[in-house]
Amino acid sequence: MNPNSTACSGTGLDASHHGTACAGVMAARHSSGDGTPLGVMSSASLVSCQMMDANGGYSSDAADCIYDMVSKRAAAVLSNSWGDTASTTYLEEAVAHACQHDVLFVAAAGNERVNIAGNTSFPAGYVGRPGMECVLAVAATDSFNNLAYYSNWGEQVHIAAPGNSIWTTIPGGAYRKLSGTSLAAPFVSGQHLRCGTCTRGCPRCR
């Protein structure tokens, strides 16, 4: 398995390990045939965009990344394992831009144990808005296939995927067990790429 298989813009540093962990769930590959788990779609080509550092980031940086991935990288699926409690016009326009280009925009529902119907977590909170038909909100399930205790929920959530104690990649060729809707979202993104069609509940199918 190669945990460093993504092509990165910016510095490529992943101080929090978050991006590498999400990439591993979606598309990690064997490097030595040692029996370690593969990602959902190990043959996928990934391109990452660094929008945060160890101190966090801004929604404007996320919007810049969305425009870059859609307009310059021709991405088919955008997997978003991040969220903000507030929306901005610039971010909303960027997500709408992705939808206009028929990109599937997968968004983690968040880990605050709240109903996102109150638009408390973005970009998942864009589900249902005009022009946002490509946004797919993903909750997390536990090992018993129940909603994970920390996962956000609500009518805007389309689907849930495994998010509890997921073994995945971290920088340096190592592995770690992590939990959260951030791990659930790349399961759905990878499955979309693997099947070449939408998962159940997807608002827009190719």
Residue 206 lies in a domain: no
Closest CA to 203 of 105, 93, 110: 105
The DSSP line for 103-135 is -EEEEE--SS-SBGGG--SBTGGGTTSTT-TTE
pLDDT digits (tens, 9 = 90+) for 121-178: 899 999 999 999 999 999 999 999 999 999 999 999 999 999 999 999 888 888 889 9
Rounded to whole angstroms, how far apart are CA atoms 106 and 73?
17
Residue 39 lies in a domain: yes
State the pLDDT confidence band at 201, using cuts at 50, 70 and 90. Answer: very low
Residue 177 lies in a domain: yes
Q: Which residues pair with 159 in a beta bridge?
A: 138
Q: What is the mean pLDDT of residues 63-91?
A: 90
pLDDT digits (tens, 9 = 90+) for 12-52: 456 668 888 898 898 888 766 665 667 888 878 888 888 77
What is the count of structural domains for the chain?
Answer: 1
Residue 201 lies in a domain: no
Residue 202: per-residue pLDDT? 46
Residue 67: per-residue pLDDT? 94
Rounded to whole angstroms, how far apart are CA atoms 154 and 157?
6
Rounded to whole angstroms, how far apart are CA atoms 140 and 147?
6
Residue 203 lies in a domain: no
Q: Phi, psi (5° rounding) for residue 187?
A: -60, -45
Residue 182 lies in a domain: yes
In this predicted model, which residue has the larger pLDDT, 8 or 42? 42
Question: In CATH, what number is assigned to the domain containing residue 83?
Answer: 3.40.50.200
Q: Range of 171's domain?
A: 5-195
Residue 204 lies in a domain: no
Residue 202 lies in a domain: no
